Structure 1
Amino acid sequence: MQTGAHDRILAAIRAIPRGQVAGYGEVARRAGLPGRARMVARLLSHNDDRRLPWHRVLRSDGRIAFPADSPQFAEQVQRLRTEGVRVEGGRVRGIRAAPTLDEQVWGTPG
């Protein structure tokens, strides 16, 4: 991964306020890398900076990406709840990850 892209993604994650969340795609857009949600996920999967607020990054539908029976899932839920975020059944409630560009243009499906 390019160092500049890496740094922009990390900066976008660090900019998510306490008690808020953003989807992988939204983080990519904020980093100037629209359409690169998988790049964000890949960077987070190799992250070893414990100060990075990785727990604020979710799937676009508000779900936690880790398997429900994993230690990472439990840690993410605990971290979010510590910040006052409501998590039920592996999904953040009450706040929604920012809409995708398609959702902004065409509206949410259903």
Structure 2
Amino acid sequence: MRKVIVMTAILALTACGQESNDKIQQAKAASEPTVAQAPVAHWALEITEGQRATITDTTGRLMEHGFTPYIYEHDGVKHFLIGPYATQAQALETQEKIKQKPKLDGIETDIIELPASN
């Protein structure tokens, strides 16, 4: 009888240990870092307003309405941009929003594709 109790206890402990080991392995697998690709921004709006206003005036007007421009330099040429956007459709949507704001009248933009970063 004693052997049966000892064997039952050993089997029970072995089973508990296996379950705990499985849980530990699952936790380890879940905690390992996964590599996720973030959407790459390839599109932006280039501000082509011309000489009617300074960059600071244009920046101020845009920021008052929730658009944050920045200067991007590529191959020695500086570009005044809003964005970047993951898709051309997102850039087009922002361009339409700018056109609909009366206080941003005169700010012209072109949708451009940004060069791939190396």
Larger Rg: 2
Give the structure with the higher percent strand.
Answer: 2
Scaled by the length of structure 1, the TM-score of the pair is 0.29
Instruction: Work out which structure has the larger RCO, using CA pairs closer than 8 Å and 6 or more positions apart in sequence.
Output: 2
| TM-score, normalised with respect to structure 2 | 0.27
